[in-house]
Chain A
């Protein structure tokens, strides 16, 4: 082992990005759904339907408001150390209302909106260097607000459709600077924050009172970051064009089934996610620097895999309360073998959840206070590196290359060399108050 590797180990703790995750996609929207391990595409019948299945907005239509908060903590390993969550607290707000019309369309058109808000920021976009240990599923996906407006229409007595938007903003633009007529720098900046909106569409079919089925499609969502910095100093270019896709969520397809008994509701969701289209979390750079010239910065090509998930939830009404529980399992999009420069940390995930709801009346209005706890177990993995043997074309994903062939031994600064262990637990919990207005 060379000197550089020793330095890499010493800086591992500092370089490991704290774990973060998408609040709604990973931990759920409202305590009622989170307590069922985020299952319920077919059973959802409140304002949280804008995410789980927009068509569910029109199930049991009512004017209602849901306000809640969510907290999470992690125990995720990065080698011998642990990553913590940097945005562990979020606030959730969801509302739906039937349009105030009578006649044949009464209670058949419902609008809704759901928000997940962070205490101190709108969003944080992270694209790590390729060798940085990084929990992909938790990366920067917790660190953004979520805005989901939606609309549902009851087409017939047993068929409903709905559509919602997943809305946020990106950051693109340019900075141009060069010597002006007065020898001062003439600079021009045009940075834009474009609206990013992607669709969530749902279809619900209830052939009999006791059974309901749902199909949901969530469009791929990502936040683009691109800045083109073009500067000229003493005739020398300093050009840095950076671009990245952050906050990525792939195209998702969900089939949901629900059974409704007198006191018990059971939900089952099957999900397929197109992670194989993911370009990766890394920054792409085109550059020209003084004396250096152009430098390639093509990030490694990671063969991400499509994922499968199954989620099941139960909701039982007893002794004047609601009791809930759920289990979910999802495969990992990250390849288990990462012999080269990348250190993407992930593994198959098991989710266990429990919760309860207490209905009551206050000020003449019906309310319900829901609480939940959720445990996510990320299965342990061991990343083992392979050294490039000089044969064939070098592939940075397939092996590590000696960074200084003139020094004795194998020289690398990769923090995953020779091995890196990952896996652990994430615990979340929350409260939601539902008010029928």
Chain B
């Protein structure tokens, strides 16, 4: 019996939090995610947990968003599927004396899958941060406390691994006939990353906030084993073993501010640092161990480190409030812009991660229908559209490693979202 181990290099998937990509609620999307310092209630669960304690009533946010991806590689469609899903937020505030407490939950449910693990060969150009960026579930339970003009909140971003405890196929001779039986034990253990947020209002005209989110990923570990015991023919094992890190979401530290020059006008800014360098090699592997009576035809390969860079993203937004009684309520008009550099280094070697610097702009509007008439509590309706441009990039490979190799990438992403916030 001979054995053989084969190692295959696959490209990992790396992505920002899906709620960062699509925005949690249309108000956030309409200001390019720059509402960290002003968000309250259910919408604050993801942006800044501290804001949950600032809710006045229990409230639920329900939203839906759609991203149309026009991304190309070598001037051909890159095959990045459109992403769409539902956002659900919940905030339950209560007070004990001067202290105000809040508990909240943010959910993002992609329409197609709760998650999709898509790994392509390393040398095949593909958009490493977009292929499945918005195709995963997000679950974020939080709690917060507020006192006067200060609030602090904490929680977790929850995800799960997928791991085979046992995945075995036994082949043997029973009654002279080849027979097989299988055994499956798959576990989805929980993984969490911490979420922390603070909010402070030093004066009626200014609000500041800071948030921290830990690193998170979905690790896949599948070991499929075939035990073969056919006397006189072959005896041994064949093992297909897959390890991959998916949806790598880097540690993120953000600071934000809001300025209210007038009662009806808010200007926001947001700067975030994302630690992409911790991705490590970023290269999962598939191993095939064959301990059957066949010749070893191949050997394993090693894979280079990802060497991603840490990045700083900048976001800004503006919101104008006006009471258009003729249109039935208080309206909010919003706009935002963002600049997001790429963490991916020049792909001159074996790997071919496509990515590019992004600029994004968005506009949005919302209306609040006040209590009275058929409503016992106010209801918000919001909508937003946004456009992201991924800079065109032409990569020439190192002549020593990949002679003559080159690929180009770039494109645009159009996003639309609607949401409503209902208070009880």
Contact = CB atoms under 8 A, between A and B. Distances in A.
Interface of A: 63, 65, 95, 97-103, 105-106, 111, 118, 120-132, 169, 171, 173, 175, 177, 179-180, 183-195, 225, 227, 229, 231, 233-236, 238, 240, 242, 244, 246, 282-285, 287, 289-292, 295-297, 299, 363, 365, 394, 401-403, 405, 437
Nearest to B229: A292
B362 to A, nearest CB: 28
B236 to A, nearest CB: 9
A283 B183 CA distance: 6
Given A291-B233, A291-B292, 13 more contacts: A101-B375, A118-B190, A122-B190, A180-B121, A184-B8, A187-B8, A192-B117, A193-B117, A194-B113, A227-B224, A233-B298, A292-B230, A292-B233
A233 B290 contact: yes
Contacts of A297: 169, 179-182
Nearest to A15: B183
Contacts of B116: 190-193
B162 interface: yes
A229 B164 CA distance: 14
Given A102-B376, A171-B186, A129 B181 contact: yes
Given A120-B190, A287-B180, A437-B92, A234 B295 contact: yes
Contacts of B295: 234
Contact of A234 (B114, B137, B294): B294
Contact of A240 (B94, B175, B240, B294): B240
Contact of B186 (A124, A130, A173): A124
B121 A129 contact: no
A118 B158 CA distance: 13
A242 B184 contact: yes
Contact of A296 (B137, B180, B422): B180
Given A177-B286, A184-B298, A295 B375 contact: no
Given A183-B298, A229-B224, A287-B171, A125 B375 contact: no
Contacts of A127: 182-185
6 contacts: A120-B190, A122-B188, A180-B121, A287-B169, A289-B171, A401-B174
Contacts of B118: 189-191
B290 A188 contact: no
Contacts of B230: 292
Contacts of B244: 189
B9 interface: yes
Nearest to B107: A147
A111 B230 CA distance: 59
Contact of A189 (B94, B119, B234, B238): B119
A331 to B, nearest CB: 28
A249 to B, nearest CB: 18
B180 A169 contact: no
B contact face: mostly helix, strand, loop, or mixed: strand
A129 B301 contact: no
Contact of A121 (B4, B160, B379): B160
B264 interface: no
B323 interface: no
Interface residues of B, number: 81
Given A63-B58, A126-B185, A193-B113, A295 B179 contact: yes
A100 B117 contact: no
B84 interface: no
B298 A97 contact: no
A402 B117 contact: no
Contacts of A285: 169, 180, 182
B169 A188 contact: no
Given A127-B182, A185-B6, A192-B113, A179 B292 contact: no
B402 to A, nearest CB: 10
Contacts of B293: 290-291
B5 to A, nearest CB: 11
B235 to A, nearest CB: 10
B204 interface: no
B296 interface: yes
B73 to A, nearest CB: 16
Contacts of A95: 90
Interface in B138-192: 160, 162, 165, 167, 169-171, 174-176, 178-190
A197 to B, nearest CB: 10
Nearest to A300: B181
Ranked nearest first, the 3 interchain pairs of A and B with the lowest CB-CB distance are A297-B180, A234-B297, A185-B8
B265 to A, nearest CB: 29
B182 A282 contact: yes
A292 B171 contact: yes
B187 A234 contact: no
A323 B92 CA distance: 30
A292 B293 CA distance: 10
A128 B298 CA distance: 34
Contacts of A236: 294
A173 B424 contact: no
A103 B373 CA distance: 8
A100 B181 contact: no
Contacts of A169: 114-115, 137
Contacts of A242: 167, 169, 182, 184, 224
Q: Which of B226, B298, B371 has its CB near the most chain A CB atoms (within 10 A)?
A: B226
B322 interface: no
Contacts of A225: 184, 186
Interface in B208-238: 220, 222, 224, 226, 228, 230, 233-234, 238
Contacts of A287: 169, 171, 180, 226
Contact of B9 (A184, A401, A437): A184
B359 interface: no
A306 B389 CA distance: 58
A184 B119 CA distance: 16
Nearest to A184: B301
Contacts of B234: 290-292
B148 to A, nearest CB: 20
A99 B119 CA distance: 44
A233 B175 contact: no
Given A177-B288, A292-B228, A171 B96 contact: no
Q: Name the residue among B6, B114, B374 with the largest chain A CB count within 10 angstroms.
A: B114
B374 A101 contact: yes
Contacts of B242: 175, 189
B418 interface: no
Given A65-B92, A102-B374, A179-B297, A405 B288 contact: no
A191 B96 CA distance: 48
B226 A238 contact: yes
B170 A129 contact: yes
A428 B377 CA distance: 41
Contacts of A188: 10, 119-121
Contacts of B185: 124-127
Interface in B113-138: 113-121, 137
